[in-house]
Amino acid sequence: MAASVRMDLGDIQGDILRAYGNDYDCTTYAFMKIECPPEQARAWFTGVVDHVTTAAPWPPGEKPLTTLNVSVTARGLRALGVSEEVVGSFSREFRDGMSSRSALLGDVGPSDPKSWEPGLGSGDAHILLTINAQRTSDHERALGKMKAAMDAAGGLRIVYQADTELLPGSREHFGYADGFAQPAIEGTSDDKARGGGVPLKDGEWRALAPGEFILGYPDEDTRVDPKKRLPNAPAAPLGRSGTYMVWRKLYQDVALWRRVMRDAAKLYEGGDEHTLSAKVVGRWTNGAPLVKYPDKAPASFDPQTPGGNDFRYDKDKDGMRCPLGAHIRRSNPRDALGFEGHLSFRHRMIRRGMPYGKVLPEGVTADDGEDRGLVFVSFQASISRQFEGVQVQWLNAGNIFGLGHDKDFLLGDPHGTGKMTIPGKPPFFLSPQEVFVRTRGGEYLFVPGMTALAALADGTAG
């Protein structure tokens, strides 16, 4: 079926609708503070905009050695000279910032913003430059150019920099293949609708409306609105082709995770630590979903093959194959909440991000003191409905799944029961634990379209 929405890919920044791919194994996230007058900052910004990578397809064989993308915080808009009236047209949660919403998000205790790394959540971060590179040499060259341009402009300072790199096998630090189940978007990735879109009757699927992710386009409400109104967006020219970005640095306590799974497995069926861990996550380490492979992992698994990500939970309502509280079932319930997925599909996010830090050697269960984890990045049209909805209602609460006060055993915050039930005969209970994942910092940002970036650079954004 031909797509009914045509996307202006040249006006949308890259790495949103389609990931750049694993050829880019080095990524730097550089948060910058503007400490000069707006006109001086805009002169530097003009040079940056000229090198931004868009979503337009690359010619065959011409994949760039490096890519550059730009996002701004609410304070960054002000520092570039955008008026309070225009800033006020952005969403409330974006203007508030992530750190001010920490209690809602579950960023408490060891994840409290008071313990975040300097430069994050403090109001100092104005602009985020994201640089991807295919090789270390390309990465170093791009960073050198960025810093030279900053020095020449004056009045700019990097307040936080995160350098990340793909791990062997494209795994995250707990050992699981990651990045599956991205949403299918009409006009861009309709071919991924099976498993990535909205589940329909008779086993069919359809892609999500593009306005769920890119502002200025129809969203799911537009589909059923007689007046075909578009979703709320910032004042023109900033709104169209833009999206909101969530950036979080998440520390992973790999040693603790391994010890807990090892010790708990001693009481589990046959002492199978591998299976117990998969029950917590909802997938085997190679990414194969439990709901399709409940007894053991297939020898190999490729989610890109036909049917690789095409699964539902309608035949597993009791969670005997994939527990109701498994991480992937909580973070993307598909049809598990009933009503043919209508309670879940408007909470989808485009997820990017990269691991950071050295791998803890296999089998080691003592903490080596190294900082390792994941830089989580998501893109969505509504931070409150999409990212915060998943974080608050699905990961840090259990009522909607019939799990009472249980939180996501993998990512849930330290307040609450922190336990998990693995269905079986008899059921198996994982007792409350210290948190495996701690927030080290984060920001809410806006990723402008190319027209909007030009307006910010020349001072005509309002």
Q: What is the DSSP string of 335-346?
A: TTTSGGGTTTGG
Q: Using an 8 Å Cβ cutoff, are 13 and 452 in contact? A: no
More confident residue, 407 or 249: 249
Give the model confidence (pLDDT) of 336-369 as tens digits.
Answer: 887 666 778 899 999 998 999 999 999 999 999 9
Instruction: Note the pLDDT of residue 414.
Output: 66
Instruction: Note the pLDDT of residue 305.
Output: 80
Q: What is the DSSP string of 396-438?
A: S--GGGT-TT---TTT--SSS---EEE-SSS-EEEPP---SEE
Entry pTM: 0.96
Give the model confidence (pLDDT) of 396-416 as tens digits.
Answer: 888 888 888 888 999 887 666
- Whether residue 2 is predicted with pLDDT greater than 50 in this model: the reply is no
Highest mean pLDDT among 244-253, 328-337, 388-397: 244-253
Q: What is the DSSP letter of 6?
A: -
The residue count of the chain comes to 462
- Whether residue 160 is predicted with pLDDT greater than 90 in this model: the reply is yes
CA-closest candidate to residue 420, choices 201, 247, 240, 268: 268
Q: Of all residues in the chain, what percent carry a pLDDT higher than 70?
A: 97
Count Cβ atoms within 10 A of the Cβ of residue 300 and give its class: 0-12 exposed, 13-18 middle, 19 or more buried: exposed
CA-closest candidate to residue 41, choices 332, 456, 343, 389: 456
- Whether residue 428 is predicted with pLDDT greater than 90 in this model: the reply is yes
More confident residue, 3 or 299: 299
Q: Using an 8 Å Cβ cutoff, are 321 and 312 in contact? A: no
Give the model confidence (pLDDT) of 181-225 as tens digits.
Answer: 899 999 999 988 998 999 888 888 999 999 999 999 999 999 999
Instruction: Note the pLDDT of residue 280.
Output: 96
What ranges do the domains of the chain cover?
9-178+232-242+443-458, 250-438
Instruction: Note the pLDDT of residue 285.
Output: 94
Give the model confidence (pLDDT) of 69-116 as tens digits.
Answer: 999 999 999 999 999 999 999 999 999 999 999 999 999 999 999 999
Dist CA 138 CA 133 (whole Å) = 6
CB atoms within 10 A of CB 214: 33
- Whether residue 1 is predicted with pLDDT greater than 80 in this model: the reply is no
Instruction: Note the pLDDT of residue 307.
Output: 76
Task: Give the sign of the dihedral formed by CA 401, CA 407, CA 409, CA 410.
Answer: positive
**Helices (H) and strands (E) in the chain — how many of each?**
13, 12
- Whether residue 419 is predicted with pLDDT greater than 90 in this model: the reply is no
Q: What integer is the mean pLDDT of 251-279?
A: 93
Could you give the angle at which helices 38-49 and 136-153 cross, rounded to 10 degrees? Answer: 150
Give the model confidence (pLDDT) of 16-34 as tens digits.
Answer: 999 998 899 999 999 999 9
Q: Using an 8 Å Cβ cutoff, are 34 and 156 in contact? A: yes
Average pLDDT of the chain?
A: 93
Instruction: Note the pLDDT of residue 202.
Output: 82
Count Cβ atoms within 10 A of the Cβ of residue 204 and give its class: 0-12 exposed, 13-18 middle, 19 or more buried: exposed
- Whether residue 174 is predicted with pLDDT greater than 80 in this model: the reply is yes
58: tokens are 């690359």
Choice among 72-76, 143-147, 447-451 with the minimum mean pLDDT: 143-147
Q: What is the DSSP letter of 350?
A: E
Q: What is the DSSP letter of 113?
A: G
Q: What integer is the mean pLDDT of 50-60?
A: 95
Instruction: Note the pLDDT of residue 341.
Output: 66
For residue 263, the cross-strand partners are: none
